[in-house]
Amino acid sequence: MKRKNLLPVVALGLSLLPLAISSRTPFRTPFRTPFRTIDAVRSLQATPLSSAQTQADFDLMRKALEEAHSGLYRYLSKTEMDRVFTAQRAKLDHPMSKPEFLAVLMKTTAAIHCGHTGVQPDAETRAAFATAPLFPMQIMIEKHKLMVLANDTTNDSTIRPGMEILEINGRTPREIFDRILPAISTDGDIETGKWRRIEGNFNRNYRLLVDQAKEFTIEARGPDGKTTKVKLAGVTAEDRKNNQNSVNNEAKANLQKLDWGQGNLSLRFLKDPEIAQIRICGFGGDDYPQWMENTFRTLREKGTKTLVIDLRGNGGGEDLYGAMLVSYLTDKPFRYFDHIRVKAISLSFKAYTDWGADDERNLREGVTVNPAGGFFVTQKLHPGVAEQPPGKYPFLGRTIVLINGRTFSTAADFCAAAYCRYQPLTS
């Protein structure tokens, strides 16, 4: 599988508004979190950031991305990306709050179409969101319809799981989506990833990008076609965690029935011994290598013919764990990553990061020069670029992989490598 656009120095803290801009890295410690944030003393709303402050931070972000993000122009040309930078910076012509500035930065980084590149709020802004009264429902999105997953109020039973939300404070779901979607970072043009990310952070993004209301007039329609309208107070993160609204009990019980696995790694037989299913929630854990060996030995001993690999909701993890799963689906050596490209080693903005002399030296010793510009990572720095051996007990039967919009990063790498290179695979 080719990997052309990875960034070794993956995050920085903005000088005035400490936001972490992150992009995927194939490296482990010390490269995992090479940024330090600088505490801001300005209040969230009362003392806005000046245009000079936001412009300086925006320029720093742009400089860092242009200097070190090797996938910056993968989906948009330099000319197109320059237009994005110019258009978003033009919005910084007046004082604004931290959340307003955060929204501008989110829309800028979303244009890169990299799911590992985004902006996270600083501690002060996170604390403000935690205590703010947010939209009191958990939601799902089905065919662009906004559906209630759970009612997080104390005891309201008017809005129930399974109802379709028609309006929030007079805005339709389409109007709400149009405000949120441009600020959501995902890989390429994968729409399912955007919808799943909207689901996961709907309440925070609604407040950030749509409306900072404390009360919400909700119009919803039930399965019987009847509509209802109710005004509900927002709930804080603490209230949401503590509230146990009985209206959610049936939906919660049904969801638990779908969660057949135990822990991160699970094996069951849908038809013993012919059809097995494994679920991998994330590519991590010290027990992963031994579990893989034991599981595929069991499949070999039982003579299993069909294997279902469930990667729904798997957000990724260790690169080499993804390669290991591929290794158990082939009896031949293979390449997992064709190459990993790095754009820069010595960074002009490293004063805003935790990137030290040792980090730079280790990176320099682990790359070779790319004649086209930048550098290629060697197996000394990342073993994933080396040829990978087949697994000890390879499964060569029919393989089915289950994915959804939350299948991301290493999980997506595995799918691409398995689909493109080894055996017929259905998703």
Same domain, 419 and 278: yes
pLDDT at residue 364 in the model = 95
Residue closest to 275 by CA, chosen among 123, 407, 398, 95: 398
Same domain, 161 and 238: yes
Same domain, 272 and 418: yes
Q: Which of 211, 245, 279 is the last residue of a domain?
A: 245
Q: Per the domain annotation, does 146 fall within a domain?
A: yes
pLDDT 10s digits, 3-37: 433 333 333 333 333 333 444 443 332 233 333 33
Residue closest to 74 by CA, chosen among 27, 24, 117, 114: 114
pLDDT at residue 268 in the model = 97
pLDDT at residue 407 in the model = 97
**CATH number of the domain within which 216 lies:** 2.30.42.10
Q: Per the domain annotation, does 255 fall within a domain?
A: no
pLDDT at residue 226 in the model = 97
Same domain, 275 and 370: yes
Same domain, 409 and 296: yes
pLDDT 10s digits, 192-215: 999 999 999 999 999 999 999 999
pLDDT at residue 37 in the model = 32
Q: Per the domain annotation, does 2 fall within a domain?
A: no
Residue closest to 132 by CA, chosen among 202, 201, 212, 210: 212
Reduced to 3 states, what is the DSSP secondary structure of residue 264? coil
Q: Which of 120, 146, 179 is the last residue of a domain?
A: 120
Between CA 234 and CA 309 the distance in angstroms is 40
* Sole residue written with tokens 């107070």: 233
Q: Per the domain annotation, does 102 fall within a domain?
A: yes
**CATH number of the domain within which 42 lies:** 3.30.750
pLDDT at residue 262 in the model = 81
* Residue 145 belongs to domain spanning: 132-245
Q: Per the domain annotation, does 5 fall within a domain?
A: no
pLDDT at residue 422 in the model = 58
Same domain, 305 and 393: yes
pLDDT at residue 46 in the model = 52
Reduced to 3 states, what is the DSSP secondary structure of residue 405? coil
Low-confidence ranges of the chain (pLDDT < 70): 1-46, 421-427
Between CA 36 and CA 123 the distance in angstroms is 12
Instruction: Give the largest Cα separation in the chain, rounded.
Output: 69
Same domain, 230 and 347: no
Cβ pair 243, 156 in contact under 8 A = no
Write out the H or E segment, with its range, that includes residue 147: strand 145-151
Between CA 241 and CA 238 the distance in angstroms is 5
Same domain, 349 and 382: yes
Q: Per the domain annotation, does 252 fall within a domain?
A: no
Same domain, 276 and 394: yes
pLDDT at residue 102 in the model = 96
pLDDT at residue 5 in the model = 38
Same domain, 217 and 73: no
Q: Report cis status (omega within 30 of 0) of the bond before 161.
A: no
Sign of dihedral through CA atoms 69, 71, 72, 78?
positive
Count of domains observed in the chain: 3
Q: What angle do CA 112, 114, 120 make, to 5 degrees?
A: 90
pTM, 2 dp: 0.87
Identify any residues that bridge with 229 across adjacent strands, giving them in sequence order. 219
Tell me the residue type at 110.
Answer: A
What lies within 8 Å, CB to CB, of 199 at 6+ separation is 139, 140, 141
Q: Per the domain annotation, does 125 fall within a domain?
A: no
pLDDT at residue 419 in the model = 87
Cβ pair 310, 407 in contact under 8 A = no
**CATH number of the domain within which 348 lies:** 3.90.226.10
Tell me the residue type at 388.
Answer: Q
DSSP symbol at 128: H
Q: Which of 120, 149, 172 is the last residue of a domain?
A: 120
Write out the H or E segment, with its range, that includes residue 123: helix 123-131
